[in-house]
């Protein structure tokens, strides 16, 4: 049985999108810290360009969580929230990470014992010269809306030392098969989606697959 949301005292908060990086971060912390209690959450973001993405990411997250539970990881609880800002226009007005950290702060307000927030950023992200500015901005969202100090709430990056290729290798293949990394999925059959191969996430993944031909491409639909 999964942890009960109402009665459990949680140590850490973990966002899960259903993508490779967030899955790898969640898998790592659950595996390495079996005595900690983790509150896992997903934000279903609906906007003018989300298309089938929200559906496919929800499917991925569901399969990922079921796999974790069936493989002995019971030290977590899952919650999902939804926001629809499609009326603001086709282009999302904020970064996904800003929305995630805002809702993360709401969860921490409800569970003030939480002292750690898990961020799935990887080594490749930190190579972007603008990335630290984004991190500073979303960190402020957490601290402003929780009222916690940096000593009271730690932001941890468990896979920041790994490249995308290394992140892929860190996940069991069966679990990796359930992840989804595409912004604009295409319907290829009833309830079956394929990657667009044109969005930034697809381009990063396709480059890794091209550079490392030993990877099983069937794991990335």
The CATH number of the domain holding residue 63 is 3.40.50.620
Question: Residue 11 and residue 23: Cα distance in Å, rounded?
Answer: 18
Residue 148 has pLDDT above 90, yes or no: yes
pLDDT digits (tens, 9 = 90+) for 88-129: 776 677 889 999 999 999 999 999 999 999 999 999 999 999
Quick one: pLDDT at residue 25? 98
**pLDDT recorded at residue 113:** 98
Q: 3-state class of 134 per DSSP?
A: helix
Smallest CA-to-CA distance from 12 within 108, 116, 109, 106 is with 116
DSSP 8-state code for residue 217: G
Q: What is the mean predicted confidence (pLDDT) over 160-178?
A: 96
Residue 70 falls within a domain, yes or no?
yes
The pLDDT of residue 61 is 97
With a cut of 80, say whether residue 171 has pLDDT above it: yes
Structure tokens at 15: 């966002």
Q: SS3 of 190, please?
A: coil
Strands 12-15 and 38-46: parallel
pLDDT value, residue 221: 66
Q: What is the mean pLDDT of the chain?
A: 92
Task: Report residue 156's pLDDT band, with 50, 70 and 90 as the boundaries.
Answer: very high
Whether residue 106 is contained in a domain is answered as: yes
pLDDT of the residue at 50: 67
Answer whether residue 208 is part of any domain.
no
pTM: 0.94
Give, in order, the Cα–Cα distances in Å from 31 to each of 37, 72, 74: 12, 10, 10
What are the backbone angles phi and psi of residue 19, rounded to the nearest 5°? Answer: -85, 175
Question: For the residues 194-207, what does the mean pLDDT come to?
Answer: 92
Is residue 219 in some structural domain?
no
Count: domains in the chain: 1
Is the residue at 189 inside a domain?
Answer: no
For β-strands 38-46 and 76-84, DSSP reports them as parallel
Residue at 148 is within a domain: yes
For residue 156, the cross-strand partners are 118
| pLDDT at residue 121, rounded to an integer | 96
In a domain, 33, yes or no: yes
Range of the domain at 136: 12-183
């Amino acid at each position: 049985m999964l942890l009960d949301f109402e009665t459990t005292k949680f140590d850490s908060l973990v966002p899960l999108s259903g993508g490779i990086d967030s899955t790898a971060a969640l898998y790592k912390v659950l595996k390495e810290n079996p005595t900690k209690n983790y509150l896992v959450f997903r934000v279903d973001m609906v906007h003018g360009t989300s298309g089938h993405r929200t559906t496919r990411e929800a499917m991925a997250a569901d399969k990922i969580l079921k796999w974790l539970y069936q493989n002995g990881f019971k030290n977590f609880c899952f919650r999902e929230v939804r926001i629809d800002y499609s009326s603001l226009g086709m282009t999302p007005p904020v970064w996904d990470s800003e929305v995630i950290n805002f809702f993360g702060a709401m969860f921490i307000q409800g569970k003030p014992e939480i002292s750690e927030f898990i961020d799935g950023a990887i080594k490749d992200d930190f190579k972007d010269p603008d990335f630290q500015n984004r991190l500073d901005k979303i960190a402020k969202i957490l601290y402003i809306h929780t009222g916690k100090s940096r000593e009271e709430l730690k932001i941890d990056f468990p896979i920041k030392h790994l490249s995308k290729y290394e992140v892929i290798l860190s996940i069991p293949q069966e679990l990796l098969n359930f992840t989804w990394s595409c912004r604009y999925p295409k319907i290829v059959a009833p309830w079956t989606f394929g990657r667009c191969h044109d969005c930034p996430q697809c381009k990063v993944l396709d480059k890794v697959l091209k550079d490392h031909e030993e990877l099983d491409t069937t794991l990335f639909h």
